[in-house]
Amino acid sequence: MIDAHCHLHFAAFDGERDEALARAADAGVRGLVVADYDHRLRGALQHLGERPGVAVCAGVHPWAVDALGAEALTRELTLLEEALASPGWAAVGEFGLDFVRATDKDARALQLRACSAQLRMARERELPVVLHAVRCHSTLHDLLRREGPSPAGGIMHGYSGSARQVPLFLMHGLDISVGGRLAKHAEKLRAVVQQVPADRLHLETDCPDGPVPGDSGSERSEPADLVEVVRAVAAALGQSPERLAARCAENTRRLFHLDSTLSADA
């Protein structure tokens, strides 16, 4: 298994990051893709990326954009450009649109500006993208149609759109990543994953905030919880968890060029 999207560098794991990595390895997780939020934790993110089996992405999350004005966003994007000039990044992300958080015209315009800028950065560097999309799928599709995604592809992380929208994003070269939020809704999960080709599907925890399927009591998720996501998606597809996990891990490994393996001795 490979966790295609998590935030192991967040403060929720301070003081027990090594233990979380060891639990993940013991659970059968062989790799992680860790997504950025903004410049403030990027140093910790780069440090985490030095570990075997961990791929790291640099980007500006739409929630971070919401806290910025136009001038501050320019500075944030400049810092991202400078970071991406250094080697070691597997992708640009996470970035995108979240129209639950951005409810007025100005806020959405700022998110669109940040999204467009990061699509450009990914295209220029031929890096995959990690896209966040909530209640904005039609707008994001229109933006991708105008500007084009990265030629290196990418993922729609924590997919929350409809099943009928899946082919639109596949057409843009984007794979679909499924996490605990969708896995908690069996009927929608089944409809979505049946639209995704086997070589375009990824599985994630989105920890520490992604919910664990079938567990309403956890306050924090972690990469080891990918086991439960695999079980839920395998049931939706009528496949064995082992077969699904192996295929999705290969998809994630290939997209993010993850060629090392997570160790239980972190």
Supply the pLDDT for residue 256: 98
- What is the spatial distance between Cα 144 and Cα 184, in angstroms, rounded to a whole number? 29
Q: Average pLDDT for residues 157-175, to the nearest whole number?
A: 97
- Which tokens belong to 178? 């499924």
- The residue assigned the tokens 């896995």 is 183
pLDDT of residue 266: 53
Whole-number Cα distances in Å, 185 to 15, 131, 214: 33, 21, 10
Q: What is the pLDDT of residues 91-137, one digit of tens each?
A: 999 999 999 999 999 999 999 999 999 999 999 999 999 999 999 99
Query: What's the pLDDT score for residue 150?
Result: 82
Q: What is the CATH number of domain 2-255?
A: 3.20.20.140
Q: pLDDT, tens digit, for every residue of 175-221?
A: 999 999 999 899 999 999 999 999 999 999 999 999 999 775 667 99
When pLDDT is averaged across residues 157-166 and rounded to a whole number, the result is 97
Residue among 199, 212, 250, 198 at smallest CA distance from 4: 250
From edge to edge, which strands make up the β-sheet containing 201-203?
A: 2-6, 31-34, 54-58, 89-98, 129-134, 154-156, 174-178, 201-203
Q: Is 90 helix (H, G, I), strand (E, B) or coil?
A: strand
Confidence band for 68, pLDDT divided at 50, 70 and 90: very high
Cα–Cα distance, 107 to 201 (Å, whole number)? 31
In whole numbers, what is the pLDDT of the chain averaged over residues? 95
114-127: pLDDT as tens digits = 999 999 999 999 99
Give the H/E segment covering residue 134.
strand 129-134
What was the pLDDT predicted at 218?
A: 66
Note the pLDDT of residue 148: 82
- pLDDT computed for residue 85 by the predictor: 97
Q: Residue 139: what pLDDT?
A: 97
Burial class of residue 142 (count of CB atoms within 10 Å of its CB; 0-12, 13-18, 19+): exposed
Q: At 203, phi and psi to the nearest 5?
A: -125, 140
pTM of the model: 0.96
Q: 218 forms bridges with which residues in the sheet?
A: none
As a whole number, mean pLDDT of residues 48-72 equals 96
- pLDDT at site 33: 98
User: Alpha-carbon distance 203 to 179, whole Å?
Assistant: 6
